[in-house]
Structure 1
Amino acid sequence: MKDTFKSILTLCLILISFVSMNAQQKRKMENTALLIIDVQNDYFPGGKMTLEGAEKAAKNTQDILKYFRENNLPVVHIMHIATDDGAAFFIPDTHGVEISSWVAPKSDEKVLVKHFPNSFRETDLLQFLQAKKIKNLVITGMMTDVCVESTTRAAFDFGFTNTVIGDATATRDRELNGQVIKAAEVQRSFLAGISTLGNLYARIVSTDDFLHGK
């Protein structure tokens, strides 16, 4: 009888702990929105600007998106359309410019079109977030060292607290003075840069850690 009572008590404590943790996580997510930046077909194999690890980043972004949808939290899909002469990708009215099926928007989710790396520049992103009383941003997308980085820094300047899901972003090899810098190095360097000085611009976490409330 005592063993049965102990087992029931242990189970109850586990359930209470789980409910408490879930409630704490939901409170942490108040006034929080997800930004999905430029997860578009041209960045994937067969596209005009293929990124290293694009599919892995998209899968992780999909998992984060699922979490936001299940918890009825705001989601913003950001889509880049090239308007400058000589642009090589994200050309209007092409398959490559379309948002990937990995993270296809639902009809009630905001889709924002931009023409610059910084998602706030000449868009209504700031006004939308302010209207929703958003204070915290969870940021995923592509490319890490261009649109993700510039949007994150701009968001900080506007007073948002940022979390970047590091393994839900991707980039490609770069070249400097004839030397190739591999994508993995670019990725680490830029994530390190925006999290410098005690996560000044953003806290960097993995998909798994975020989904487990870390």
Structure 2
Amino acid sequence: MKILFKHSVALCLTLFSFLFINAQQKRNMENTALLIIDIQNDYFPGGKMELAGAEPAANNAKKALEYFRKNNIPVIHIKHIAVNEGAEFFLPDTSGAEIHSSVSPKNDEKIIIKHFPNSFRETDLSEYLQKKGIKNLVITGMMTDVCVDSTVRAAFDLGFKNTVIGNATATRDRVLNGQVIKATDVQRSFLAGMSALGNLYAEIVSDIGSF
């Protein structure tokens, strides 16, 4: 009888812990939206601006997307269309500018077209988030050091609390004064910069399981 009682208590505690964790996760995701920035075909093999690690980053963004869909949490897709003179990728009416199949939007998911690195600039993103009561952003996308970074910093200035899924972002090698800076170094440096001063601009997490 004592053994049965102990097993019953242990089962109850396990169930309580599970329910508590689930409730805590739901509370953590209140007033939250997923932002998927510029995961578009030109960044992938065969595209006009291939990134290092685009495919694994997109796969991780897909996992985040599936989590948000499963839990009925808002998803926003950002799509860059280049209209500036001399642009070489994300050109209007090209397959390279289309959102990659790994994170294809559903009909009820918001798509925002932008023409600048900052997803808030001359778009309705801020207005849309305010109408939805969104205060927290979970951010994935490309490129880490351009559109992701500029969007994160703009979001901070507008009062949003940001979380970036680091392995769901990607960039490419850069050149400074004739010296090549590897994509992995660019990636780490910009993620570190976003999380500087106690996660001032954003908390960086490794994957969706970190929530």
Band the TM-score falls in, shorter-chain normalisation: over 0.9
For the Cα contact (< 8 Å) 1:141–1:168, is it kept in 2?
yes
- For residues 163-182 of structure 1, what are the alpha-carbon distances to aligned partners after superposition, in whole Å with 9 as ceiling and x for unaligned? 01100000000000000000
What CA distance in whole angstroms lies between the structure 1 residues aligned with 2:5 and 2:184? 53
Q: Secondary structure at the match of 1:204?
A: strand
Which residue matches 2:70? Answer: 70
1:2 is displaced (CA, Å) by: 2.4
Give the CA deviation at 1:3: 2.1
CA distance in 2, matches of 1:26, 1:123: 29
Aligned equivalent of 1:112: 112
Q: Report the CA distance shift for 1:194/1:48 in structure 2 as closer, same or farther (over 3 A).
A: same
In structure 2, the partner of 1:8 is 8
Counterpart Cα distance in 1 of 2:20 and 2:210: 13
Q: Using the alignment, how far apart are the partners of 1:128 and 1:74 within structure 2?
A: 11
Q: Is the 8 A contact 1:67 1:211 kept in 2?
A: no
**2:158 maps to amino acid:** F
SS at match of 1:3: helix
Aligned length: 211
Supply the distance in 1 between the matched residues of 2:104 and 2:6 (Cα, whole angstroms): 48
TM norm structure 1: 0.97
Q: Secondary structure at the match of 2:77?
A: strand
AA of the residue aligned to 1:48: K
Superimposed CA distance per residue, residues 171-195 of structure 1 (whole angstroms, 9 cap, x where no aligned partner): 0000000000000000000001111
**Residue matched to 2:155:** 155
* Divergent runs of 4+, >6 A: none
Q: Does 1:88 align with 2:60?
A: no
* Secondary structure of 1:180's aligned partner: strand
TM-score where L is the length of structure 2: 0.98
Deviation for aligned residue 1:63:
0.6
**Which residue of structure 1 aligns with residue 209 of structure 2?**
211
Aligned partners of 1:178, 1:21: CA distance in 2, in Å?
51
DSSP-derived class of the 1:77 partner: strand
Counterpart of 1:65, as a letter, is L
Give how far 1:212 is off: 4.3
Identity among equivalent pairs (%)? 71
Gaps of 5+ in 1: none
The AA in structure 2 aligned to 1:147 is C
